[in-house]
Structure 1
Amino acid sequence: MEIKELLNINRSRMTACMTLVLSFLVLYASLAGILDKSIYEDVLSTGTITKFLLAGSVSQDIIFIPLALLLTFLSLLYLKRNGIKTFITILGLTGNFFYGYGLYSMQGQYTTIYLIYLAIFSLSIYSIIFGLLSFTPGLVVIASFPRTLRICTSIFLYCIVIMLGLVWLIRIIPDIARHIPQDTYGVYVLDLGIVFPAIAITATMLIRSKPFGNILAGVVLMKVFTVCLSWGFGEWYGRFSGIIQGSYDMLLIPTILTVISLVFLILYLAKLQITPAEFKSRVI
């Protein structure tokens, strides 16, 4: 077997080209949001976003710059050397940008660069689709990692869905009763409608030893780590800027999830195996 029999090279390279363009767009949007204060302040003056959302947007821009640079590097690396772990990491990072700019797009954050947000959101969706379709049945079957790690990862993912799912439901039900959404309603839409079901499906595939779950686990762990990192930094930034007051519970939760997901991600990348010996040098 050759590596092209395990991964659709043309499709995966097309995905890497798409994520390379995506990284440039994210860099532009993030730098613009930080360097040009009027981008968010003009929208704030209309009353369509709150100071809380403004602080969240700025903090997200700050954390997205290094993540976009990482995506640029990994996309170029993959185009030069078709590494499977690199490709999995690329898809996880893309999932993070899908989430971040999906919020901007859904919540109608109509800044002067809103169309850039929309382009990032759209490009990230199709990059993920093309990327997942790049894995062939041959790779899916032989990709594996230790049973104990697989079960622990599954339990961790289930805990995220159950814990945050309950918190989000507790928060959204009163809003539904009042017929008035919070300014962060996009989080509930994405998490409850798309993200949590995807995480639960991945966790179930892992616990049932379904081969494709071994691939999805890496994508999901990278996505969880980067989203929680961005969330945690946003909570810290909001308190540092004096916009968020009160309980530190919502700072503690993303911090813990960031650390745990990073540990699982590192273990996953270290332990993921592609069984045939001739592919061991091409896994990274």
Structure 2
Amino acid sequence: MLNNLRLHSVLWAVTGLLALVAAVTGVAVPGIYAGVVSSELVPGAFSQDLISIVASVGLISVALAGGREQAKGQIIALGLLGYLFYAFGIYVIERTYNGFYLVYLAIFSLSFWALIAAGASLQRDFRAPELPRSLRLISASGALLQPMIFYPLWIGMLLPLMSSGNQIDSLYSIFILDLCFIMPGFLLLAILAYRSRPLGMLLLPALYVLGFALIFSLALGELVKPLFGLDTNIQSFWTSLVLSVFFGVLGALHLLRLELTAGPGQPAQRAAHQRHTGSTSRR
């Protein structure tokens, strides 16, 4: 699916390793957030770091597989990169100025440029992926549902702030990341999937991986609140859990039923072509 896979593997491995170090430290020593993250948000940082550990290990695993990894593994890797971009983007934008802030900046930057590099390296001769029509429409509808919900919700929360000129002290990063990056991504890929465009059908599962990891970290954050002397919000927990399951199921179904066929530029196809050419010339 991607050209220059070795280069991408290096980028993914470095990004995953840095994220793993930062996330493990956050889980082992949650005190690093003292003074730079409000106390009621520390459980969220803790749960996010737990998910980041899993995402980092997954990304490193795909990177180490190198050329042996199939296209679906690369799609999952792109979703994990998107998650790390979002998760550590929160720390960067929210000015989490602890001893790891430069590491957060590095992860935020590396994950962003790794995604850009992947987009620029998609093989042009990769044949159009195939997906059952009913599943394609369900997957695209699920993706379209996200901007339909969160654009009005977040803009509705921003308008009073804009009217009063009030500057909130935390979680403003969510508005930036969602409105500028994640929701446009869901909207664009949903439209492309509706129209059976290869890019939409190929990359939509990556956004579902990202969405599952992000929302599941919110559900997990509610469960760990008692560890920090806070009460669990049951409604928030179930809402986040249901939405994360929604992302996970749609992403899994889309990815499992997605049929990817190598084009003539793929190594296996080129080798077969060369064998055929060689036998013809001998005859």
Fold equivalence (TM over 0.5)? yes
1:27 to 17, 20, 28: 20
- Rounded Cα–Cα distance in structure 2 between residues aligned with 1:240 and 1:153: 37
1:198-239: per-residue Cα shift (whole Å, max 9, x none)? Answer: 110010111122221111212111111111122221233236
Deviations 1:126-162 (A, max 9, x none): 11111122212221x4212111111101111111221
Counterparts of residues 1-284 of structure 1 (less than 5 Å): 7-8=2-3, 10=4, 12-41=5-34, 44=35, 48-77=36-65, 79-139=66-126, 141-178=127-164, 179-238=166-225, 241-243=228-230, 248-275=234-261
Deviation at 1:245, TM superposition (A): 6.0
Alignment RMSD: 2.2
Opposite residue 20 of structure 1, the aligned amino acid is: A
What CA distance in whole angstroms lies between the structure 1 residues aligned with 2:194 and 2:33? 44
Please state how far the C-alpha of 1:249 moved relative to its aligned partner.
Answer: 3.6
**Aligned equivalents of 1:235 and 1:169: distance in 2?**
25
Structure 1 segments unaligned to the other structure (5+ residues) = 1-5
Structure 2 runs not aligned, ≥5 long: 270-283
CA–CA distance in 2 between the matches of 1:188 and 1:56?
Answer: 17
Question: In 2, are the aligned partners of 1:175 and 1:182 still within 8 Å (CA)?
Answer: no
> % of aligned pairs identical?
27
Deviation at 1:64, TM superposition (A): 1.5
Larger Rg: 2
C-alpha distance 163-238 of structure 1, shift in aligned 2 (>3 A):
farther
CA deviations 1:52-111 (Å, max 9, x no partner) are 22221112112221221121112112x140411111110110000000001111111101
- How much has 1:182 moved relative to structure 2? 4.6
Q: Deviations over 1:105-125 (max 9, x none)?
A: 111110111000000000000
Measured at CA, do residues 253 and 164 of structure 1 come closer, stay the same or move farther in structure 2, by a change above 3 Å? farther
Q: 1:137 to 1:80 in 2, by over 3 A?
A: closer
* TM-score of the pair, normalised by structure 1: 0.86
Going from structure 1 to structure 2, the CA distance change for 1:56 and 1:128 (only over 3 Å counts) comes to same
- CA deviations on 1:8-55 (whole Å, 9 max, x unpaired) are 1x1x321121111111111100111122343112xx2xxx53112222
Distance verdict in 2 for CA 1:38–1:134, change over 3 Å? same
Number of paired residues?
266
